Structure 1
Amino acid sequence: MRAGCGTRDGATRQTGEQMDPIRTDIRGAVLEVTLDRPKANAIDLATSQRMGEIFTRFRDDPALRVAILTGAGEKFFCPGWDLKAAAEGASVEGDYGVGGFGGLQELRGLNKPVIIAVNGICCGGGLEVALSGDLILAADHATFALPEIRSGTVADAASIKLPKRIPYHIAMEMLLTGRWMDAAEAARWGMINRVVPADQLMIEARTLADELASGPPLVFAAIKEVVREAEDMKFVDAMARIARNQFETVEKLHHSEDQLEGARAFAEKRDPVWKGR
């Protein structure tokens, strides 16, 4: 069951008509996605479905190579499920959309890098969405928690993901007590990549996104597929699958123009020009 972490006001802005709770912006090959549902950027079914649509288009658009997900404002990244909607009778069970809750967690074949820029409180389902990214940057005032235990429910996705990301006993402490963790501690345990001053968060995220966008997209795709598919496999079994050409992205890479271009660029002592084919 989805749960939030303390906000009771996730109402979408009203200006005569309901506005889109998700803002998107494209900078070259980078898609920026901003969750914008004042006051807390909480997610309801419609917002989750919208996020799934956006990330599906990102996945399928060859012109887009990297995505950044952040929250609007300076206080909340995302507290997870919209408790106000739940208090008013909205079901927490339903169609979250093609990518599952938040559009990322269950989106199949997403073989492009996703950067999470945590701009504030990140808890409950919001933390589960953040853990679905590949790289996580956090503002120095950001905080993290899984307080579902206090509302009598389970942080299901986090129960699966977090003990694989950070030391088991730290993950269990968060799950069993709901305690809060500041950004410095989250970085110390490896839950996030690094902490940056709040006013530098998006600058850092965009710099990292531009670096990735200039890299080899077919290699990134192969890395993501292998990491995802091999997570629960033995090393020898995963290597055997590679040897038998059973990873589609790896096979595509091995027969691509980009792999040849990489070798030529190295031999010619120049920067490669990646075409994604």
Structure 2
Amino acid sequence: MSQEVLTHEEDGVLIVTINRPEAKNAMTKAAAEGIAAAMDRLDAEDSLRVGILTGAGGTFCSGMDLKGFLRGESPIVEGRGFGGVVQAPPKKPLIAAVEGYALAGGLELMIACDLVVASAGAKFGIPEVKRGLVAAAGGVMMLPDQIPERIALELALTGDFIDAPRAYDLGLINRVVDGPALDGAMALAATIAANGPLAVKVSKQIVKESRGWPMDERYDRQAQLIAPVFVSEDAREGAAAFAEKRKPNWKGK
């Protein structure tokens, strides 16, 4: 894996760090490929329960590397899109830990994550129009799914930034922390990782997919997804652990 992306595992959490602090973690082809490889690992390894995506040096990601763009480089991975994640996020939960700026493609990386923990001083925006570009990696399409359309339009058309308190009020981020965003994200990840992995995975899938299901098919489609969970070893273990007043020993099956 490229040194532009670093990974390490801690208590079932895969921490993925964009490691280009000298360039405000601007996204390159190599970094995108590194993130894609980390997402493959997150989904493939049973010991990993949650992923965290963050940036080195006090910035999450400032967007596409414009120098690379001028050289004709595209920070896109086939099948996964910009940054190796925006078009095909992992099946397991992914948390963005945001310090500093999440701008342009950086914001698009962030909104591809399931949950967001941000430091109090973080800033967010899609300023592509200021450079004659369009936030085409999900910004203009996905942002209106996460915040009111008029606010999404304002961000897309002005290119202006919002701060962490405003982003929290809009529901764009989950938590604002006074300390390091990674610490806050690890606390959230630990809460998730303590739960049944099959149930967590299917719960995410249903939340993400069900809005596109026809109303008269929703419960039938949900039933197909949850049936294996309710007859799993983990479901029995969860009930037994509750009755015996102990922590569950999840097997993921």
One fold, TM greater than 0.5?
yes
Asked if 1:207 is matched to 2:176, the reply is no
The more displaced of 231-240 and 207-216 is: 231-240
Q: Indicate the residue corresponding to 1:135 in structure 2.
A: 115
Q: TM-score, normalised by structure 1?
A: 0.85
Asked if 1:153 is matched to 2:157, the reply is no
Question: For residues 180 and 30 of structure 2, what CA distance do their matches in structure 1 show?
Answer: 31
Q: Is the CA contact 2:237–2:250 (under 8 Å) kept in the aligned structure 1?
A: yes
The more displaced of 254-263 and 114-123 is: 254-263
* Structure 2 residue runs without a partner (length 5+): none
Task: Give the 5 Å matches for 1:122-201.
Answer: 122-156=102-136, 157-197=138-178, 199-201=179-181
> What does the per-residue CA deviation read over 1:238-275, in whole Å, with 9 as the maximum and x for residues that have no partner?
212123x2x3xx23212210111222233334332222
Q: How far 1:98 sits from its partner (Å)?
A: 4.4
Alignment-mate amino acid for residue 214 of structure 1: A
Q: Indicate the residue corresponding to 2:239 in structure 1.
A: 263
Q: How far 1:84 sits from its partner (Å)?
A: 1.5
Task: Give the 5 Å matches for 1:44-55.
Answer: 44-55=28-39
Alignment-mate amino acid for residue 98 of structure 2: V
Asked if 1:26 is matched to 2:9, the reply is yes
Question: For residues 24 and 63 of structure 2, what CA distance do their matches in structure 1 show?
Answer: 9
**Aligned partner (choices 72, 75, 83) of residue 90 of structure 1:** 72
Residues 242 and 201 of structure 1, relative CA distance in 2, 3 Å threshold: closer
Question: For residues 251 and 132 of structure 1, what CA distance do their matches in structure 2 show?
Answer: 27
Alignment-mate amino acid for residue 267 of structure 1: A
Please give the secondary structure, in 2, of the residue aligned with 1:253: helix
- Report the identity percentage: 38
Q: How far 1:95 sits from its partner (Å)?
A: 4.8
Q: Indicate the residue corresponding to 1:81 in structure 2.
A: 64
Asked if 1:67 is matched to 2:51, the reply is yes
Q: Is the CA contact 2:32–2:82 (under 8 Å) kept in the aligned structure 1?
A: yes
Question: For residues 143 and 81 of structure 2, what CA distance do their matches in structure 1 show?
Answer: 18
**Aligned partner (choices 211, 230, 235) of residue 254 of structure 1:** 230
Question: For residues 62 and 107 of structure 1, what CA distance do their matches in structure 2 show?
Answer: 19
Question: For residues 200 and 114 of structure 2, what CA distance do their matches in structure 1 show?
Answer: 11
Q: TM-score, normalised by structure 2?
A: 0.92
Q: How far 1:236 sits from its partner (Å)?
A: 2.9
Please give the secondary structure, in 2, of the residue aligned with 1:173: helix
Question: For residues 204 and 192 of structure 2, what CA distance do their matches in structure 1 show?
Answer: 13
* Structure 1 residue runs without a partner (length 5+): 1-18
Alignment-mate amino acid for residue 226 of structure 1: I
Q: Is the CA contact 2:76–2:84 (under 8 Å) kept in the aligned structure 1?
A: no
Question: For residues 29 and 98 of structure 1, what CA distance do their matches in structure 2 show?
Answer: 26
Alignment-mate amino acid for residue 23 of structure 1: L
**Aligned partner (choices 99, 104, 114) of residue 80 of structure 2:** 99
Question: For residues 94 and 250 of structure 2, what CA distance do their matches in structure 1 show?
Answer: 19
Asked if 1:219 is matched to 2:199, the reply is yes
Q: How many residues align?
A: 251
